[in-house]
Structure 1
């Protein structure tokens, strides 16, 4: 992390450690509590079918 000093110069600032890593979030052991609310998928089913017909593939 950096801090902007008077005059606009940057100074390296020590990062705060939380646990074993910086800004990490505790991951669950499995995904049984994940709720699919439909907001994560940006493409509609029609969009996906059109891409399939065109022969396009994801990453």
Structure 2
């Protein structure tokens, strides 16, 4: 009986959640991605200053 009461309370709580349309959220997500793509390392790639994987340049005298 306790399980049924807990399940009912959970379902009521989930039913009261305010939801948004997928079309609205997807537009917001696209706008966010466009606005922040310059700071995204996966899109723009790391700068030479902040690239920990770049090989260190050695100085050699010829």
TM, length-normalised to structure 2: 0.26
Bigger strand share: 1
**Larger Rg computed on CA atoms:** 2
The TM-score, its normalising length taken from structure 1, stands at: 0.26
**Which is helix-richer, 1 or 2?**
2
Q: Which has the higher contact order (CA 8 A, sep 6+)?
A: 1
